[in-house]
């Protein structure tokens, strides 16, 4: 792995495909001492594999541009949808405003199906999304426990 810049593995959160809904593993990191753009690492191999030497770097932003490496076009499309849905919590984590647990709890997974692309280009969102969206709209304060339906909040 050459990386956009030297990556401190202690700043990385590994997110397996089964958590994100993507076809591949991604690594989300905090800025740390980075002076570069906000990026995440995306595995090139499918599934829940952890091989940082076989990864591409994707910019966090509306374009989701691959800034280093190569990814399958279907993977790029899925990563763009996922980062678009999760831009707020990913950038909060990058900037150090949230820890890994808070970031993971806020993520909205997507379903990946290259054989059946949706006409509208909208992501297929997995079960539990209403909770994630409600949690993103009204963040839970640290040290509190949520009760009841997220839709019943006033």
Give residue limits of the domains in the chain. Answer: 9-152
Q: How far apart are CA 71 and CA 148, in angstroms?
A: 41
CB 107 within 8 A of CB 128: no
Query: Is the full-model pTM beyond 0.75?
Result: no
Token representation of residue 111: 């379903």
Distances (CA, A) of 142 to 13, 28, 59, 69: 20, 21, 29, 37
Query: DSSP characters for 54-77?
Result: SEEEEESSSS--EEES---HHHHH
Distances (CA, A) of 28 to 60, 88, 130, 131, 136: 10, 13, 23, 22, 18
CB 59 within 8 A of CB 67: yes
Token representation of residue 15: 């997110």
Question: pLDDT tens per residue, the chain (154 residues)?
Answer: 444 566 777 788 999 998 899 999 999 998 888 888 899 999 998 988 788 889 999 998 767 899 999 999 999 999 999 999 999 999 999 999 999 999 999 999 998 766 544 434 444 443 333 233 333 333 434 444 444 434 444 4
Of the candidates 135, 88, 80, 89, which has an alpha carbon nearest to the alpha carbon of residue 110? 80
């Amino acid at each position: 792995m050459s990386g956009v810049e030297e990556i401190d593995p202690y700043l990385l959160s590994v997110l397996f495909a089964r958590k994100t809904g993507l076809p591949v593993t991604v690594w989300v990191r905090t800025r740390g001492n980075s002076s570069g753009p906000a990026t995440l690492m995306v595995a090139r191999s499918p599934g829940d594999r952890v091989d940082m030497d076989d990864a591409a770097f994707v910019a966090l932003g509306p374009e989701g541009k691959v800034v280093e490496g190569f990814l399958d076009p279907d993977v790029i499309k899925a990563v763009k949808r996922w980062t678009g849905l999760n831009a707020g919590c990913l950038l909060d984590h990058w900037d150090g405003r949230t820890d890994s647990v808070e970031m993971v709890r806020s993520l909205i997974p997507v379903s990946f199906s290259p054989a059946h692309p949706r006409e509208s280009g909208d992501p297929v969102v997995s079960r539990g999304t209403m909770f994630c969206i409600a949690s993103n709209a009204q963040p839970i304060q640290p040290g509190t426990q949520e009760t009841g339906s997220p839709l019943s909040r006033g």
